[in-house]
Chain A
Amino acid sequence: MDALANFFLENQDMIYIVILSIFLGIEVISHVPAILHTPLMSGANAIHGVVIIGAIIVMGHAKGDDYLALTLGFLAVVLGTLNVVGGFVVTNRMLEMFNKKK
């Protein structure tokens, strides 16, 4: 229990960010019209591709002789990029269709 309490105290700022971001996420989304649900889901999908940054960090600090870490890190960067690029491009394609006529 002590360990968890320490963890809480050490990461208080992060925990505040988490709680406030939760409210922000709810607030930003709550007035979206039904027609935009699919592009919105797809756009949100691209945003969680931010996990790519973690993959870059893992890969960037992997030791040169640690082949397991290098291989997995490489894979993680590929998959993360797929998520980011694919997500944004697909969303853009969908929204393009809405935009071409008013």
Chain B
Amino acid sequence: MSSFLLELSYLLGSVTFVIGLKKLSHPESARKGNLLAAAGMGLAILATILFHEHNGERIGNIGWIMAAMGIGTLIGWTMAMKVKMTGMPQMVSFFNGMGGACAAIISMVEYHSHPEGAAGYFLVVFLGLVIGSVSFSGSMIAYGKLDEKIKDFSAKWLTVFNLVLLAVIIGILVVAVKSPETFGPSVLWILLALSLLYGVLFVMPIGGADMPVVISLLNSLTGMAAAFGGFLYDNQIMLTGGILVGSAGTILTVLMCKAMNRSLLNVIIGSFGGGGGGSSAAAGDQTVKEINLTDAAILCSYASKVCIVPGYGLAVAQAQHICHDLEKQLEAKGVEVYYAIHPVAGRMPGHMNVLLAEADVPYPKLIEMEDANGMMNSTDVAIIVGANDVVNPSAENDPGSPIYGMPVIQVWEAKNVIVMKRSMRAGYAGIENPLFFHAKTKMLFGDAKDTLQKLVGEVKMT
């Protein structure tokens, strides 16, 4: 009876995961989907504690398990409630790393308790260990980089070294599976160390602009690691849950790469930035036109249609609320305002939407890139707040540019362009932007939050 209840709970849990994911992909039902999946997870955990049996033995150490779950809940809950919306990408990366570590530890304990078995058993244990460890250390580095605790580090030799390291890991894994006696029990620690190192070195050189892709990739890796756990224990819910996330995460990764017009291989192997030297030299001696706050306010106030293009700079400056103020002030004057959102604006796809939603900007004002481009030539003023690469015309007309081919928001089609920027520094991806030298462009230098605040004041007075 108890095994029937266990399997039934797992089946129900798996179904909630599928329906939950499906609901998560529609704005109206997303929240319900998340809660449904959470309920399914709760059911599966409870059923495991109550009904799981292995060789007739029930789950023991229940006190310790409860204590561990209590600690995890407390820390996880607190962190999740405290994190700011701008810090979401690193938070997801952090939790992802925890899952990876969990999968790796399961493999370690399993190998420690049962050091003998068939080739299939070793394959599953070692793959869980390797993928879990790579996912853990990679996620931690991604977390550190997004939190600006760790700087980019890239070198030509590193790419080669990483490929060699990966080959070595796969080599050891194959040998260890085929003839376990070759390395003895120490193979576990060798694989663990090399995988952790690989995770660090693989994320280290990847540029900030590519971070979303990496997080998504690591997310699907952890899914795969969880699925190997499912194989290990003949556990269907771990298998379906893990694989679902693994494949959904992979598709999401590919979608993100497409939005940036890059291949996954290119993201992983070729590090971004520093390229396109030939074309940027020409831009060096051009001059930019500045605009002062009063003129900017007048320009916007007398426009009939204004487009705001938010970028990560807006998020960093926590300026989404003031941006919404500006929009309200302009609307009070009868100006039509909309936001043009690039799919990869911010540091995760859709990140900008979450930030603007936090500031109460209504849904219908958030226009996706393709529709926004259609509206651009009827727009009087395009205001770019802390965005750079997503409005770079080189992507369309300079085959030498590293972002050539990436779809961008064609702000230069608007009658006037105001760029709010802290300095003339190149963007996050380190690429020169000819938009700043465009005939229609006027620069408004300063911190995004500060400048927007002053601009709102000026608009009020105009």
A26 near B229: Cβ-Cβ < 8 Å: no
Inter-chain contact count A-B, CB under 8 Å? Answer: 392
Q: Judging by beta carbons under 8 Å apart, are B95 and A87 in contact?
A: yes
Q: Mark B222-247, 1 if CB is under 8 A from A, else 0.
A: 11011101111111111111111111
Q: Collect the chain B residues with CB atoms within 8 Å of residue A93's CB.
A: 80-81
| Across-interface contacts of B31 in A (CB, < 8 A) | 92, 95-96, 98-99
Q: A48-B222, A51-B238 are in contact. Are A79 and B18 (CB under 8 A)?
A: no
**Contact A49:B99 (CB < 8 A) given known A41-B252, A62-B109:** yes
Report B's interface with A, CB cutoff 8 A.
Answer: 13, 17-18, 20-22, 24-27, 30-31, 33-35, 37-38, 41, 44-45, 48-49, 52, 54, 57-62, 64-65, 67-69, 71-73, 75-77, 79-81, 83, 85, 88-89, 91-92, 94-96, 98-99, 101-103, 105-106, 108-110, 112-113, 118-120, 123, 215-216, 219, 222-223, 225-227, 229-249, 251-252, 255-256, 259, 341, 343, 348-351, 353-354, 357-358, 360, 362-363, 366, 368
Given contacts A10-B120, A38-B354, contact A45 B113 (CB under 8 A): no
A58-B110, A86-B76, A90-B83 given as contacts; is B247 within 8 A of A53 (CB)? no
CB distance from A12 to the nearest CB of B (A): 12
CB-CB under 8 A for A84 and B119, given A25-B244, A92-B35: no
3 smallest CB-CB distances across A and B, nearest first, come from A81-B72, A7-B120, A25-B247
Distance of A22 Cα from B448 Cα, bound (Å): 43
Task: Say what secondary structure dominates the interface of chain B.
Answer: helix
Q: Which residues of A approach B to under 8 Å, CB–CB?
A: 3-4, 6-8, 10-11, 14, 17-18, 21-26, 28-64, 66, 68-70, 72-102
Helix, strand, loop or mixed for chain A's interface?
helix
Q: Are A83 and B98 in contact (CB under 8 A)?
A: yes
11 other A-B residue contacts (CB within 8 Å) besides A4-B123, A53-B237, A60-B61: A34-B368, A41-B252, A43-B37, A48-B96, A52-B102, A56-B59, A60-B65, A62-B113, A76-B105, A80-B72, A85-B80
27 A-B residue contacts at CB 8 Å? A28-B25, A38-B88, A38-B353, A39-B30, A41-B349, A45-B96, A45-B219, A50-B44, A50-B241, A50-B242, A51-B103, A53-B48, A56-B45, A56-B48, A57-B235, A60-B58, A69-B112, A72-B108, A79-B101, A83-B96, A84-B45, A86-B94, A87-B76, A91-B24, A97-B354, A98-B30, A99-B31
Which residue in A3, A73, A84 is a CB contact (below 8 Å) of B76? A84
Are B238 and A61 in contact, with the CB atoms below 8 A? no
Which of A47, A51, A91 lies in contact with B229, CB distance below 8 A? Answer: A51
